[in-house]
Structure 1
Amino acid sequence: MQIAPIRAAIAAAAATVVLPPGTGALTATGYTPDSIAEPHFFTAEVNVDFDKTMGRGLDELEITCRVLVGRGDDRAAQQLLDALLSGAGPASLKQAIEAARGAPGEYALGGLAHDLRVERVQGYRWYEHAGVQYVGAEMTIRVIGDGRT
């Protein structure tokens, strides 16, 4: 599996969420940006487990992603973050990203991986990014795919 295209495909899937009226659109990048336009989703740390099967048949990625929301109004920011972190609904990142799994029998992320799953949300707290404070959280996404590609 090639990591950069997978990160970009996850960000593209995340960008399909529909935020509540008056909120604007979620910006998303497949890399850790220098600065952000909030609300923003980005892929961050990547852990790789090679050789999960013999002959380089399967590798596994654990990708930590962050979603950061502006804090102009702390209550409204946390309500928006809650909507993004929910398991379902038009603003659900989990639902948007897992839609990129494809139909049964298809490869995930447009053929880049065998499958993916949003596993958990953690670290719901204040984050500093490029000297600015945001309310945010981390999402862990597990991706499996052919280790020979």
Structure 2
Amino acid sequence: MSQEIERKFLVKGDFKKDAFKETRIIQGYLSSVPERTVRVRVKGDKGFLTIKGIGDESGASRFEWEKEIPADEANDLLKICEPGVIDKTRYLVKAGQHTFEVDEFYGDNDGLTVAEVELDSVDQKFEKPDWLGEEVTGDARYFNSMLMKNPYKNW
């Protein structure tokens, strides 16, 4: 089983000048229960099916399994997902030895921008760029599966 270890932060400044790649992402959830989320994603011209387990106490580590599927199949699966869609652009930004995934949200989550960094261990050190804001790693409101149910515009 694969373990995902990541930390999540709000973004407080201009990161786009440092981005080396950007990709539009549309995603929905076949299951959004915390014990097992099943996500369908269209990322550029590729499709993905992802299953994630419940997070540890810190919210930084959890089981993750992902499989690439044809984009047309992912689009078909999006039609039977739970109500609510996540629409965002993901920017990749290098900082030190790590690459941050910075998500700028649209639609009902417009105005929200978060950055995630994947780590090898929960306590691994990493360089924090100037545009990195408050850490929200364990805050369930910022999980994509929760943003689908309770979007940022409702806060």
Q: TM-score under structure 2 normalisation?
A: 0.26
By relative contact order (CA 8 Å, sep 6+), the higher-ranking structure is 2
Q: TM-score under structure 1 normalisation?
A: 0.27
More strand by share: 2
More helix by share: 1
